[in-house]
Amino acid sequence: MSHFPLDVYRSTRSPFAPQLDWDDAVPGLVDVDLVAHCGESTPVEYFNSLTRTSISTTWTECLALLNRSQQTVSMVIVQARIHLPFALLGLDSDNGSEFINAHLFNSCKREQITFTRSRPRVAQRDKLK
């Protein structure tokens, strides 16, 4: 996991959902990302880890997924929230189609989870400048 100052972190958000103050003192605001476990090639099927990290508590969970389909990612994020030691208030992701889609957007809206995303086409190294 990469680390950078919270003020820089907050400034890289865009208003994909109603703005939420991503205050580091509030548990329940979670950053999500997928990591592919496929080596140097992408075979037909491979495992992915869905990583969820609480911004304030640094509580981190990794969930194994056989695929990164929109339906699978959406279902796992919403259903796995019962395992968190706090209520899931907000979700922030990158711009991958496994996150930015109607399935996850509608699930978050229905469950009253604020959904934001990183700015498009901003490389991690550029966020630190």
Give a yes or no: residue 123 inside a domain.
yes
Q: Which two tokens stand for residue 74?
A: 């959406």
Give a yes or no: residue 115 inside a domain.
yes
DSSP string, 6-48: HHHHHHTEE-SSS-----TT-TTEEEEEEEEE-TTS--SS-EE
Share of the chain above pLDDT 90, in %: 20
Residues 110 and 12: their CA atoms lie apart, in Å, by 26
Structural domain containing residue 49: 6-127
Give a yes or no: residue 68 inside a domain.
yes
Tell me the pLDDT tens digit for each residue of 59-103: 999 999 988 889 999 989 988 888 899 999 999 888 888 898 888
Residues 21 and 41: their CA atoms lie apart, in Å, by 39
Is pLDDT at 2 greater than 70 in this prediction? no
Could you tell me which of 106, 114, 111 has the C-alpha nearest to residue 26?
114
Tell me the pLDDT tens digit for each residue of 24-66: 678 899 999 998 888 777 767 788 999 999 888 889 999 999 8
Q: What is the CATH number of the domain that holds 11?
A: 3.30.420.10
State pTM to two decimals: 0.69
Considering its fold, how many domains does the chain have in total? 1
For position 116, what pLDDT does the model report?
A: 86
Residues 102 and 44: their CA atoms lie apart, in Å, by 25
For position 24, what pLDDT does the model report?
A: 61
Residue that the structure tokens 């695929």 belong to: 67
Give a yes or no: residue 1 inside a domain.
no
